[in-house]
């Protein structure tokens, strides 16, 4: 049976977390319950979320038995299950219970933590498995009603840095947008690594999805997003003016100055 750690649902903890979350600054809880990262976007690393961690061993074992589909593109190479709520996924009972725990217990708790209204009827949960050579490269978050993304690492305590699997939070240079005084969702912006979270130290990670939440990572995880109202789309910048037409002869002279 899954249940929240009572220490993390106390009014004192929620008030402390909420105040630091609103400040959007880096902060580490003295008791080690959570870490907050304000840049490149607000992200929380939560520890000891469950009253008893023993059930996670069964979750990890059940996740290994799921039917996975290989997904491969220039962005990612990994194996992914279907949504745990879909009948076609045929998720074991403990995984269905885990999903219900996220929806019925973690969702209202998150609402109290960050003050965001989330859907009480839906949650997207899938399992992803990364083998040797697999990867998930830098990408931004898909929105469409997904308000809080999460990753729950299902790895054993012997996992080390050499095994990979760090979740990298990536910041983007907005120099181009600053010059235009507007945000352009699809303009070409430089990306820099702002933070790397080791998976043994990061059992549960959550962040509000936004156009600026850019990341990459691996290995065996359960995750996706809590749903809510879709954010309004950001405005597009006007198209860059096309160069004036030049006579071909003049263009060729510039390209080939010799006869």
Which CATH number does the domain housing residue 236 bear?
2.60.120.620
More confident residue, 253 or 64: 64
C-alpha torsion sign, points 143, 144, 149, 153: negative
- Residue 208 burial (C-beta neighbours within 10 Å; 0-12, 13-18, 19+): buried
Q: How many domains does the chain have?
A: 1
Residue range(s) defining the domain that contains residue 149 = 6-255
- Residues forming a β-bridge with 36: 27, 44
More confident residue, 198 or 149: 149
Provide the pLDDT for residue 13.
93
Closest CA to 207 of 140, 154, 157, 156: 140
Contacts of 103 (CB under 8 A, 6+ apart): 120, 122, 123
| Lowest mean per-residue pLDDT among 3-12, 202-211, 219-228, 250-259 | 202-211
- Residue 146 burial (C-beta neighbours within 10 Å; 0-12, 13-18, 19+): buried
In a domain, 1, yes or no: no
Provide the pLDDT for residue 257.
57
Average confidence (pLDDT) over 54-82: 88
Average confidence (pLDDT) over 203-223: 55
In a domain, 104, yes or no: yes
Whether the per-residue pLDDT at 234 is higher than 80: the answer is no
Whether the per-residue pLDDT at 28 is higher than 70: the answer is yes
Q: Binning pLDDT at 50, 70 and 90, where does residue 253 land?
A: low
Q: 242: which 2 tokens?
A: 């096309």
The rounded distance, in Å, linking the Cα atoms of 143 and 130 is 24
Q: 28: which 2 tokens?
A: 């580490």
| Lowest mean per-residue pLDDT among 6-10, 121-125, 128-132, 139-143 | 139-143
Name the 3-class secondary structure at 207.
strand
In a domain, 146, yes or no: yes
């Amino acid at each position: 049976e899954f249940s929240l750690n009572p220490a993390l649902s106390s009014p004192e903890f929620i008030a402390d977390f909420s105040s630091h979350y609103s400040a959007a600054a880096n902060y580490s809880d003295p008791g080690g319950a959570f870490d907050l990262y304000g840049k490149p976007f607000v992200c929380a690393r939560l520890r000891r979320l469950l009253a008893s961690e023993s059930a996670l061993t069964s979750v990890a074992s059940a996740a290994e038995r799921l039917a996975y589909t290989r997904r491969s593109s220039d962005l990612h190479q990994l194996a992914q299950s279907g949504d745990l709520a879909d009948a076609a996924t045929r998720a074991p009972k403990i995984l269905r219970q885990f999903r219900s725990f996220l929806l019925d217990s973690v969702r209202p708790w998150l609402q109290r933590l960050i003050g965001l209204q989330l859907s009480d009827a839906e949650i997207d949960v899938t399992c992803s498995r990364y083998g040797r050579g697999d990867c998930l490269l830098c990408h931004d978050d898909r929105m469409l009603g997904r308000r809080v993304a999460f990753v729950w690492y299902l790895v054993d305590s012997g996992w080390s840095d050499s095994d990979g699997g760090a979740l990298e939070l990536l910041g983007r240079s907005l120099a181009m947008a600053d010059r235009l005084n507007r945000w352009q969702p699809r303009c070409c912006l430089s990306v820099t690594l702002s933070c790397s979270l080791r998976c043994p130290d990061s059992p549960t990670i959550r962040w509000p999805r936004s156009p600026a939440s850019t990341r990459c990572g691996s290995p065996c995880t359960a995750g996706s997003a809590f749903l809510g109202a879709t954010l309004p789309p950001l405005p597009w910048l006007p198209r860059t003016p096309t160069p004036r037409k030049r006579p071909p002869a003049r263009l060729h002279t510039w390209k080939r100055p010799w006869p």
